[in-house]
Amino acid sequence: MRQIALSNKQLRGIPRRLRALERWAASFRDEFYPRSERMERYAHWKIPVHEALVEGPQARIEVQAFCIQQLLEAANHLSKAADHSQGYYRVACLLTWPWVYGSEVTVFYDRDYYLSFLGEANALMPERISHDLALHAPANFIEHGHDVTRPDDEVAVQWWCIGEPA
């Protein structure tokens, strides 16, 4: 379950929370989410964790990497279960580094909409977040990153799309 941090109290039950995230990622195994009758351009699932687990002074890079890996696992399950005979269907993880709480797994049903997220090239080449965090992205996934740091940001902010080729 997604929760925001309302205090700076020590987060408890971290191993339990990480096991729950693993179960969430595994729940996408053999699941296919076809486009609804409302003809949305995408469906998405935000990372279901407490904000303090992945952001702020308590967040550890190892835990952030684990959480991102679980997003990739969920995306891989969705990708493997895809029925491409029902139209355009691409799966991607949309990550904001280091603000992982805003990250999600997205199924795109519209090619142009997906391309608007993916971009034409990896603007941060040769950098790859999967190498920096020792992630295991599915073999058929590609990575595109962009620097989205604003002048008032205290740290460099990167936006990453790791997903199936368009």
In a domain, 3, yes or no: no
Q: Does 4 map to a domain? A: no
- Measured between alpha carbons, how far is 21 from 37 in angstroms, rounded to an integer? 30
Taking the CA of residue 36 as centre, how many other CA atoms within 13 Å lie in the half-sphere pointing to its CB? Answer: 7
What value, to the nearest 5°, has the Cα angle with vertex 21 and ends 57 and 139?
100
3-state secondary structure at position 164: coil
By the 8 A CB rule, do 161 and 128 touch? no
Q: Evaluate whether residue 103 is within a structural domain.
A: yes
Tokens matching residue 166: 């368009």
pLDDT tens string 26-52: 999 999 988 888 889 999 999 999 999
pTM for the full predicted model: 0.91
Q: Is the pLDDT of residue 60 over 80?
A: yes
Sign of the four-CA dihedral 7, 60, 27, 42:
positive
pLDDT of residue 57: 87
Q: Which domain holds residue 75?
A: 14-31+39-163
Spatial CA neighbour of 157 closest among 67, 66, 95: 95
Determine phi and psi for 79, rounding to 5 degrees: -65, -45
Contact between 89 and 111 under an 8 Å Cβ cutoff? The reply is: no
Q: Domain total for the chain?
A: 1
pLDDT at 2 over 70: no
In a domain, 27, yes or no: yes
Q: For residue 9, tell me if it sits in a domain.
A: no
Residue 2 within any structural domain of the chain: no
Residues 103-122 have pLDDT tens digits of 999 999 999 999 988 777 77
